[in-house]
Amino acid sequence: MMSAADLMSAALGVAFLSLAVAQLMCMIRLVLGPNTGDRILALDTMVINALGLVIVLGIHQGVRIYFEVSLLIAMLGFVSTVALARFILRGDIIE
């Protein structure tokens, strides 16, 4: 059986790798996407994956400052998704 520290570093490596692969697959959908809804969805998922990467980086380095970074990324991602969708729906963001 693996020791706890070995398992922790292996899990960190797997998390970094799978989040990076997920980010690349989102980019493929962003380029392919047949219509605008798919592109907005791919951008939203890319923001969420970047949030996960920042959280895993914070665990890896053991630094608390990445908490503020991830909170800011979450807020900006939500606001930008809503702004893009409102621009498609209404032709304007703030009427």
Partner 1 sequence: MSLEIIGTYATALFLLIGSGFALVGVLGLLKFNDSMTRLHAPTKVGTVGIGALLLASMTYSYVSGAPSMHELLIMAFLFVTAPISANFIAKVNLHQRACDTPPAPPRDDTWSTLKSPEAEGDIPSGNEGS
Q: How far, in Å, are 3, 17, 30, 36, 41 from residue 58 at the CA level?
A: 22, 15, 27, 33, 26
With beta carbons less than 8 A apart as the criterion, state whether 52 and 66 touch.
no
Measured in residues, the chain has a length of 95
Least CB distance to partner 1 at residue 68 (A): 9
Least CB distance to partner 1 at residue 5 (A): 7
**What amino acid occupies position 95?**
E
Which residues sit at the interface with partner 1, rule CB under 8 A? 4-5, 7-8, 10-12, 14-15, 18-19, 21-22, 25-26, 28-29, 34-38, 40-42, 44-45, 48-49, 51-52, 55-56, 58-59, 62, 64, 67, 70-71, 74-75, 78, 81-82, 85-86, 88-92, 95
Tokens of 12: 């960190």
Least CB distance to partner 1 at residue 88 (A): 5
